[in-house]
Amino acid sequence: MSVANSFGSGLYAAFLLARGRSEGMHYVQADAAGVQRSFWAMAVSAPAIVCLRLIVWLQDIIPANAGHVLALDMMSYVVGWLGFVVLSFYIVPLFNAGAHWGRFIVVWNWCNVVENMLLVVGCIPGLLHAPPVIDEASQIITTGWALWIEWYATRVSLSTSGLAAAALVILDQMIGLMLAGLNATLLGH
């Protein structure tokens, strides 16, 4: 399967899973080549990460060291993404799902694209100066949906319990929060 086909099938699987349709798993290439190609999802998601940072700056103030802040965000993005992959390699077998790790990572990578797009969409009402209740509701709904997608895709791809899937989602979020805290400390905020 070519890289372009992996993109198409990976994103199609993620969009199906985002709608609660487990047949998205039929489009996942879970062999070693598919796992490797799924990391292209990091590049596909990167513009959404940049967009989220720009949205924060548009709503607040652009710092004097904007380039430094953005570079730190992008480094944290890569470290967080790959850090979760490495940790999950060791944790997934604890849930008796080690045989499905490759499939899980492919699904997790591509679902991150959809989740990050949702987070950007959730910020649009605020950019359009919608009333705060609409802006906040939009962000809560899209963030909740993104977390649900990760949980559902994890549960389906690992064929595991909802509790085990929730533990992996919490681990992923904890990594992100830890890196955000580290960034804030490094930037003196």
Determine the pLDDT at residue 37.
Answer: 94
Q: For every one of its 189 residues, what pLDDT tens digit does the chain have, with 9 covering 90 and above?
A: 677 787 889 999 999 999 999 999 999 988 999 999 999 999 999 999 999 999 988 888 888 889 999 999 999 999 999 999 999 999 999 999 999 999 999 999 999 999 999 999 999 999 999 999 999 999 999 999 999 999 999 999 999 999 999 999 999 999 999 999 999 898 876
Determine the pLDDT at residue 60.
Answer: 80
What letter does residue 159 receive in the DSSP assignment? Answer: T
Residues 6+ apart with CB under 8 A from 49: 73, 74, 77, 116
Handedness of CA 109, 110, 111, 112 (dihedral sign): positive
